[in-house]
Amino acid sequence: MAFGNQNRAAVVYGSAAEKAQIDEGLRQYMLTVYNYMATGLAISGLIAWIVANVQPVTQVFFNVQVIGNQVAIAPNALGLVAMFAPLGMLLIAMFAMRNPSAKGSQAFYWAFVAINGVGLSLLLLIYTGESVVKTFFITAAAFGALSLYGYTTKRNLSGLGSFLLMGLVGLILASLVTMFMGGASPMMTFIISVGGVLIFSGLIVFYTQQIKDTYVQLAMAGAGRDEQTVTAVWGALSLYIAFINLLQFLLMLLGNRE
């Protein structure tokens, strides 16, 4: 389904012409990955905006109460389902989509980004529009620089990937512990936010190199268009998830609440 760790040292070009052909294909492949990702972000953002700003739609997923001069917003049962559905979809995909088709991968991706937009609407309800827009552009600029580094670096980052995944597990456990303890202190929130920014920044670099190496190996093996499409979609999904999480942790650090 998804791309795995690649042995970068194993890639040996047969000729200069073959290298030039693979390099050209790689540029087109990476453009396809980024287009999938950007379109996914646009779809998620549009759905998030509709859910957050169209009152009848907002009330489908959230309970909104006015208490004095403050507005209390909490997801209802359907909202909770929508917020946790993307995680459930990923878990199901890990076991049920071992050898997905190109169309199946695309359908999964579009469904994932659409449903995830409902959960992202909570950010628009919690933070001011100005801070969301500002933080989005900061995230986009950071993503561009990090992904460029992952694409151009000659260093093998496979070891970094293992380290980052362990850090991600620790981050999840720390978040769960603070949630069950009734909320995190300002200092703990800051530490978790900084940790999240660092981890997902590193994952953007790691995933970009992994996507690049996957294409080179597929091209060397003579893989068909469908197989390349499958890996491009799942590569875009990895970058999409890293981008969204980086945005959320940056909002925790930089965002102004309503």
Task: State both tokens at 137.
Answer: 């552009």
DSSP state of 127: B
Contact call for residues 208 and 147 (beta carbons, < 8 A): yes
pLDDT at 183: 59
Task: State both tokens at 153.
Answer: 């670096």
Any idea what the Cα angle at residue 177 is, between residues 171 and 183, rounded to 5°? 105
What are the residue ranges in the chain where pLDDT is below 70? Answer: 1-18, 66-71, 179-184, 258
Tens digits of per-residue pLDDT, 184-210? 677 888 888 999 999 999 999 999 999
pLDDT at 69: 65
Helix, strand, coil content of the chain in percent (nearest 5): 80, 5, 15
pLDDT at 232: 96
Which long-range contacts link 115-119 to residues 24+ away (Cβ below 8 Å)? Answer: 115/82, 115/85, 115/86, 115/89, 116/44, 116/86, 116/244, 117/43, 117/44, 117/45, 117/46, 117/47, 117/48, 117/51, 118/47, 118/48, 118/51, 118/61, 118/79, 118/82, 118/83, 119/82, 119/83, 119/86
pLDDT at 222: 78
Domain ranges of the chain: 8-254
Contact call for residues 110 and 43 (beta carbons, < 8 A): yes
